[in-house]
């Protein structure tokens, strides 16, 4: 499942005052599951986001069928990774920065 991030499709884009309610979904994902893109202008949200980032805790996690292909594709686009993909028990994972102050984790479950 190469190019995961580039295949995200906008589902909703609704004006909400000075902001917009935006959601995205992957075409191969579970029907009805969407990711909300949340603004960080609200001071408590900004504090929470920075605390997660500083602690090294990803704000979101995505599952992929081919983490190595995703890693190479994102790396070719100058995405900043915290490490190379790592094997851990029955999965492989990698964490990257999203340029908005969040850490995002990709995981690939082992075929059983």
Break the chain into its structural domains and give their ranges: 5-109
User: What does residue 64 show for φ and ψ, rounded to 5 degrees?
Assistant: -130, 155
Q: Is the pLDDT of residue 3 over 70?
A: no
Give the residue among 53, 51, 32, 41 at the shortest CA–CA distance from 99.
53
Q: Is the pLDDT of residue 4 over 70?
A: no
The whole-chain average pLDDT of the chain stands at 87
pLDDT in tens, 29-80: 777 788 887 777 889 989 999 999 999 999 988 888 899 999 999 999 899 9
d(CA 99, CA 88): 26
**Beta bridge partners of residue 57, listed in sequence order:** none
Query: How confident is the model at residue 90, as a pLDDT?
Result: 93
Q: In the CATH scheme, what is the code of domain 5-109?
A: 3.10.180.10
Q: Are 25 and 33 in contact (CB under 8 A)?
A: yes
What residues contact residue 15 under an 8 Å CB cut-off, 6+ apart?
21
Work out the percent of the chain whose per-residue pLDDT is above 70.
Answer: 93
């Amino acid at each position: 499942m190469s190019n995961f991030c580039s295949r995200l499709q906008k589902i909703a884009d609704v004006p909400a005052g000075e902001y917009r309610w935006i959601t995205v979904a992957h075409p191969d994902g579970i029907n009805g599951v969407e990711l909300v893109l949340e603004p960080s202008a609200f001071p408590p949200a900004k504090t929470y986001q920075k605390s997660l980032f500083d602690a090294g805790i990803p704000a979101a996690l995505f599952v992929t069928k081919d983490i190595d292909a995703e890693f190479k594709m994102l790396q070719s686009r100058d995405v900043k990774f915290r490490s190379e993909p790592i094997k851990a028990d029955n999965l492989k994972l990698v964490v990257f920065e999203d340029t908005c102050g969040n850490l995002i984790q990709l995981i690939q479950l082992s075929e059983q």
